[in-house]
Structure 1
Amino acid sequence: MKKVLQMTACAFTFRNSEGYMREVAKFSECFVCGDENSCGLKARFYVQEDGSVTTEYRVEERFVGYAEVLHGGILASLLDEVMIKAVLKDGILAVTAAMEVKFKRPIYVDQIIKLSGRVKECKGRVYKTEGIARVNGEIAGTASGTYVQARGELADTLARSLK
């Protein structure tokens, strides 16, 4: 069981058996990270000491495109999420404006994908990011993304769903 010690920006600091960790806040109905989305991946995202955000995901058979091969859209979703969490961890509510994904190799059922994302550049409300997906230490996919800080009604909607 984890004990939440404090919330900083949009990351919760807690202590578990491995020590102190910062988990990035989530949106309850999100397909990738939402706890309340019964069809989703339920991935959890953590802030690392270097400021990057990481997650691990074991490929489930229900998300294949071809027999035993992860659907590319699922990998794209995971990469999108790890990159936007790199923005969200600092309290910035943003939305995806553009994303480019490069698929390097197939990923199979039961393999564990280790993903990392980081902000490369920020100009005003626009954040440029990069994401990497690795399986067994080898790069399986990469992505670059552009995220725009939400304002007005959209920002209010995003803030209400944050937990």
Structure 2
Amino acid sequence: MKAEGDGKKYVNHYRHSFCMACGGANPAGLHLKFLRQPDGSVAASVFCAKELSGYDGLLHGGAAAFMLDSAMTNCLFSAGIAALTGKLSVRYRTPVKTGRAAGLKAWIEFEHPPLYVLKSELRQDGKLKVSAEARFIKRDAAVNSVQ
């Protein structure tokens, strides 16, 4: 965790600085800042810019998926775990509108290192719009398995 000028403790991004969702070094990225919550989950606010549209006025489904994947990855980072996504399942409930903010939340549902199962949600105007579940493998275990 690192403290910023506002005094809040944001999740560190390990070797993730150029991530298109949360990396601070990526000029084209979203620069999402996740805060660890008292229950161990993480949360962030995101502005759904029109540049992330699929259909006019609606967030592209792939953009929603990468935001939710980033939320889950940052939840693991907040627990000191660097891991890679192995499987991602996304449920699109209702369209997400562009030109508005949305909230992201993620939490660890199950862990049996080096495997982790996480869930995440994207809410807009207080309503659940998109949810996801993913399986992650600890980064070192994943890298070693392909060598």
TM over 0.5: yes
Distance 1:30 1:100 in 2: 20
2:110 to 121, 128, 131: 121
Shift, 1:13, TM fit: 3.7
SS in structure 2 of the partner of residue 98 of structure 1: strand
**RMSD of aligned Cα (Å):** 1.7
- Aligned residue runs from structure 1 range 1-163, under 5 A: 11-14=1-4, 16=6, 20-26=7-13, 27-151=16-140, 154=143
Distance 1:139 1:128 in 2: 20
Shift, 1:62, TM fit: 0.8
SS in structure 1 of the partner of residue 94 of structure 2: coil
Unpaired segments ≥5 residues, structure 2: none
- Give the paired residue count: 142
Distance 1:84 1:78 in 2: 10
What is the identity, as a one-letter code, of the residue corresponding to 1:91?
G
Structure 1 stretches of 4+ with a deviation exceeding 3 A read 152-155
Distance 1:96 1:89 in 2: 16
Contact 1:87–1:119 (CA under 8 A) maintained in structure 2? yes
What is the identity, as a one-letter code, of the residue corresponding to 1:34?
G
- Post-superposition Cα deviations, 1:34-69, rounded to whole Å, max 9, x if no partner, equal 112122111111101111000110111111011111
Distance 2:142 2:111 in 1: 23
Aligned-residue sequence identity (percent) comes to 25
What is the identity, as a one-letter code, of the residue corresponding to 1:23?
Y
Distance 1:126 1:42 in 2: 27
Distance 1:113 1:58 in 2: 6
